[in-house]
Amino acid sequence: MNSEFTIAVHSLVLLASRPDRMATSDIIAHNVNTHPSRVRKVMSCMRKQGYIVTKEGIGGGYILNCNPEEVSLAEIYRATSIGSMKPSWCSGKVDIECMVACNMAEVMDQIFCDAEQQLLIYLQQTKINDVLERVRLSQLQKQ
Amino acid sequence: MNSEFTIAVHSLVLLASRPDRMATSDIIAHNVNTHPSRVRKVMSCMRKQGYIVTKEGIGGGYILNCNPEEVSLAEIYRATSIGSMKPSWCSGKVDIECMVACNMAEVMDQIFCDAEQQLLIYLQQTKINDVLERVRLSQLQKQ
DNA sequence: TTAACTGTGATTATTATACTTACAGTAAGC
DNA sequence: GCTTACTGTAAGTATAATAATCACAGTTAA
């Protein structure tokens, strides 16, 4: 699984947790523990999907533009990581005189693709707000 | 997803497809399109799980030791790739004074772990023999 | 006009992955 | 018992994927 998914989810949860539902890439990056530029890249994708709006210039940043109770992790996965289930490496070779060797890549591809669809069904269940709730629960259990 | 899973599945399917259900690491490696040493590493793991037996020395190799109609991809995944769903990179930092930052890794971990369990349920459906059948089907469709 | 922000491409550093080598251990066949 | 063809496994190298960083143009509030 792609870690941009993690960054996207973390960022949206963070925004959802803030009273003004807003933060700069610096704030998010520090919270996520990565580079602001990487956050901006991921957030740019979130903006294109409409989950946030951005405000450029001084006093700007990223503002949540969706209902965190409605947006599921499946949507975030689709936006950031679709296709990442399948490993880049694949077995076999088309020009080998063997049924297994020259068809395996195609067959495995289909299996990974189907597996990803199943994953999406599972991710559908969990909304941004559920993640925030889990974070709260996790926090409570530590005290 | 770990590509050792692909190698393991491919190798077992190849063995299942052969009349004597046997092949050397050289034969498998050529078919899979990788190095014999890599095949041996993966097959060593398959042997430990009992899916194959190995015969060392001259005339030796790997011999299928299971019913390909019974062994599912879930078992192969468990043997080769468990935990690979979760990306190695994780967000947040425990020592930050923010509920989201210091609990997100734990929460995402749980989500990835649950997702992997779902994946296993899906992979349970497909047996080694089903993959071989799909390969045969794929071959037929080309002609 | 300046300062604080985003957007994005390019570069570098780091890590993960795959390949290769090396060699010890094993067993069949002469 | 020696040779040859095999596996088992560790170690090293090469390559690819990922993450971090830099650079700078564009935007907007004060």
Q: How sure is the predictor about B1, in pLDDT bands with cuts at 50, 70 and 90?
A: confident
Tell me the torsion sign for CA atoms A65, A71, A73, A77: negative
Q: Residue A83 CB closer than 7 angstroms to strand D?
A: no
Specify the pLDDT at position A142.
Answer: 84
Question: Rounded mean pLDDT of B15-42?
Answer: 98
Which among B45, B71, B53 is positioned nearest to B132, based on CA atoms? B71
At residue A143, does pLDDT exceed 80?
no
Specify the pLDDT at position B65.
Answer: 98
Query: Do B2 and A107 make contact, defined as CB atoms within 8 angstroms?
Result: no
Element (H, E) at B62: strand B61-64
pLDDT digits (tens, 9 = 90+) for A17-61: 999 999 999 999 999 999 999 999 999 999 999 999 999 999 999
For residue A20, CA distances in Å to A23, A120, B105 come to: 8, 30, 24
pTM confidence score: 0.94
pLDDT digits (tens, 9 = 90+) for B97-112: 899 999 999 999 999 9
Say which of A1, A90, A103 has its CB closest to residue B112: A1
Specify the pLDDT at position A44.
Answer: 98
Question: Rounded mean pLDDT of B78-102?
Answer: 94
At residue B143, does pLDDT exceed 80?
no
Distance of CA B59 to the CA centre of its chain: 26
Q: How sure is the predictor about B50, in pLDDT bands with cuts at 50, 70 and 90?
A: very high
**A62 vs A31: CA distance, rounded Å:** 14
Question: Rounded mean pLDDT of B82-93?
Answer: 95
Give A107→chain B minimum CA distance, Å. 6
Strand D: list positions under 7 Å from protein Cβ.
4-11, 16-23, 26-30
**A103 vs B141: CA distance, rounded Å:** 11
Specify the pLDDT at position B2.
Answer: 86
Q: Three-state DSSP class for A4?
A: helix
Residues in chain B within 8 Å Cβ distance of A31: 92, 96, 98, 100-101
Residues in chain B within 8 Å Cβ distance of A29: none
Residues 6 or more apart in contact with residue B101 via CB below 8 angstroms? A14, A31, A32, A33, B92, B93
pLDDT digits (tens, 9 = 90+) for A109-141: 999 999 999 999 999 999 999 999 999 999 999
Encoded tokens for A13:
């949860």
Residues in chain A within 8 Å Cβ distance of B135: 99-100, 103-104, 107
Specify the pLDDT at position A118.
Answer: 96
SS (H, E, C) A41-76: HHHHHHHHCCCEEEECCCCCEEEECCCCCCCEHHHH
